[in-house]
Amino acid sequence: MNIILLGLPGSGKGTQAKMLSMHLNIPHISTGDIFRDILKTESELSKKIKSYVTGGLLVPDNIVSEIVQQRIEQNDCKDGFILDGFPRNINQAEFFKNYLDSKRMKIDSVIYFELPVDLSIKRLSARRHCPVCKRDYNLITQPPKNDELCDICNVKLVKRPDDKLQTVTERIKVYEKETEPLVSYYLKNKLLKKVNADQSIEKVFQDTINLLKNAGYN
């Protein structure tokens, strides 16, 4: 099964993708995670991506598309994949469709996690990250057990540069301009299914599973 997840930053796509990946036994492909791994290197690609990510801007389509294509061609994607963060605009969606057509593949479902903009900003501003074990938290939806300390390492959690308010606001503006049109795009293709993201993580997950089951996927 090949799935695309859509939704405002902070709508829970990453969390749901990880849960779906375990439930369906197919890989979760996050462009954000791929970019962060690349940023740890000193390559020319790393320098290019860094200039966009730190400014809250989207990485150019040609770079993103090439990275995603290479990832999907790996062996662990032979039974399906869950895309989180791609496509981000109509141009990328068209590229991806052409690529899948050339491989005689298709997207089975697009899940859109609906969340109001004000809640998106609130959630993103509450995100924290452990600098040691790299575990992610959210002070609202997934808080640590002890104040702002990592449950595993017991070290102070930090906020990523791309979760600062100014960057968050810019990311949402870019999303509304570039990514929001994908909702209509996939509706026209009769692939889009909506889930209310303003619920508990468990409820959102169960609603998503029910949608997939109703569409004939187990």
Instruction: Identify whether 13 is a catalytic site residue.
Output: yes
DSSP strands (E only) in the chain: 2-7, 28-30, 81-84, 109-114, 127-129, 136-138, 192-196
Instruction: Identify whether 88 is a catalytic site residue.
Output: yes
Chain segment 68-90, per-residue pLDDT in tens: 888 898 999 999 999 998 998 99
Residues paired with 146 in a beta bridge = 149
Catalytic-role residue among 71, 88, 123, 128: 88
Catalytic-role residue among 36, 48, 159, 160: 160
- The pLDDT of residue 217: 67
Percentage of the chain surpassing pLDDT 70?
Answer: 98
More confident residue, 57 or 71: 71
Instruction: Identify whether 128 is a catalytic site residue.
Output: no
- At residue 107, the 3 state secondary structure works out as coil
Chain segment 148-170, per-residue pLDDT in tens: 899 999 999 998 887 888 888 88
Catalytic-role residue among 71, 123, 127, 128: 127
Q: What radius of gyration, in Å, describes the C-alpha atoms of the chain? A: 17
- The pLDDT of residue 218: 59
Which residues, other chains included, contact 3 with Cβ-Cβ below 8 Å and sequence gap of 6+?
20, 80, 81, 82, 83, 107, 108, 109, 110, 111
pLDDT at 21 over 70: yes
Chain segment 184-207, per-residue pLDDT in tens: 999 999 999 999 999 999 999 999
Catalytic-role residue among 13, 71, 123, 128: 13
Catalytic-role residue among 71, 123, 128, 171: 171
Token match 């959690």: residue? 157
Question: How many Cα atoms sit within 13 Å of 8 on the Cβ side?
Answer: 22
The arithmetic mean of pLDDT across residues 30-46, rounded, is 81
- The pLDDT of residue 1: 92
Chain segment 107-146, per-residue pLDDT in tens: 999 999 999 999 999 998 888 999 999 898 989 888 999 8
Domains of the chain (ranges plus CATH)? 2-115+165-214 (3.40.50.300)
